[in-house]
Structure 1
């Protein structure tokens, strides 16, 4: 990969990393607010026909937090591949990962063919 291309990829991944960290912070704040709301209320929300339960909301936000953390790990792994020169190479077959795939999914570890076989 050319130095200019490597710099562009690194910059894009760093931007995605920063955005994911911000999202994780927002979600963690949302989660904390849901937990605090459940402590501060005596309501029986499990039987409230008006909307989602606090447990459901906590579960939903928790799932989004797990997804954001997993994505952050993927971004960090992609940055490590840029640093060691293996970015853009399929981890399964060793072939190149198509530029379009990396454009759409910069953290991709496999080529389209290998991803389809998973």
Structure 2
């Protein structure tokens, strides 16, 4: 039987990291948007425009990824609270402790991981 309290602590720590990261990413996006407004809007022909567009795209992708990751962590914490943590959402079998150590937010055993992409 896995030590779910240990995983709860890991998930809480990961949650705090994500919550701290999201405002910084939003600030990066706001700064890039602000710089873009002050620059030539023709990104294709303005060397600075291409850099600003790249930074905006990168920050937006990181924000989306971090938000999705936070959702997964919070869902895992909800499963701990509900008493369903550590059981595969597809087949109901226990998720191997090694898998939970690698991806404590996963709701899937290794056999169903590809289907759930987690």
> TM-score range with shorter-chain normalisation?
0.7 to 0.9
In 2: Cα distance, 1:90 partner to 1:7 partner = 18
For residue 49 of structure 1, report the CA deviation from its aligned partner: 5.0
The 5-angstrom pairing of residues 64-75 of structure 1 reads 64-75=62-73
Aligned length: 116
**Does 2:9 correspond to 1:11?**
yes
For residue 21 of structure 1, report the CA deviation from its aligned partner: 1.0
In 2: Cα distance, 1:32 partner to 1:103 partner = 35
Pick one of 105, 108, 115 that aligns with 1:110.
Answer: 108
In 2: Cα distance, 1:62 partner to 1:115 partner = 26
The 5-angstrom pairing of residues 1-118 of structure 1 reads 5-42=3-40, 44-48=42-46, 52-116=50-114
Structure 1 range deviating more: 65-74 or 42-51: 42-51
In 1: Cα distance, 2:41 partner to 2:91 partner = 56
Determine if contact 1:102/1:108 at 8 Å carries over to the other structure.
yes
What TM-score, normalized by structure 2, do the two folds share? 0.86
Which runs of 5 or more structure 1 residues have no equivalent in the other structure? Answer: none
User: C-alpha root-mean-square deviation of aligned residues, in Å?
Assistant: 2.1
For residue 45 of structure 1, report the CA deviation from its aligned partner: 3.6
In 2: Cα distance, 1:117 partner to 1:70 partner = 17
